[in-house]
Amino acid sequence: MATHKSAIKRARQNRKRRLRNRMYKTRVKNAIRKVKEAVAQNSLEEAQKRLSLAVSIIQKTAGKGIIHKRNASRKISRLSKMVNKLAVSGSSS
């Protein structure tokens, strides 16, 4: 356990940051889950709406340095691919 005044403050700051980062990561996971659920229900409009919201959340999280920019890019790419595949299959049938 920290005993110096500066170490105690550092531990307090780390705890606060960890909780904040966890909140953002949970928000990203929930946004991704909602897009996947919309794709699973074959709801193109809902999936596109949720995708744009998810992309915004993921980019904000990456901009704050909570997740890596490449990780964010990969998540966005995979979600976009899922929604686009749904759009193509919906228009051809």
pTM as predicted: 0.87
CA distance to 10, 29, 72, per residue, from 25 (Å): 22, 6, 11
User: pLDDT by residue (tens digit) across 24-47?
Assistant: 999 999 999 999 999 999 999 999
Place of tokens 């229900």: 41
- Residue 58: which domain range? 5-92
Give the whole-angstrom CA distance, residue 36 versus residue 50. 9
User: pLDDT by residue (tens digit) across 49-58?
Assistant: 999 999 999 9
pLDDT for 93 beyond 60? no
Task: Calculate mean pLDDT across residues 51-67.
Answer: 97
Angle among Cα 20, 6, 68 to the nearest 5 degrees reads 35
Task: Calculate mean pLDDT across residues 54-77.
Answer: 97
The number of domains in the chain is: 1
Q: Are 28 and 61 in contact (CB under 8 A)?
A: yes
Name which of 84, 13, 72, 24 is nearest 48 in CA terms. 84
CA 65, 66, 72, 76 dihedral sign is negative
pLDDT for 92 beyond 90? no
CATH code of the domain in which 35 resides: 1.20.58.110
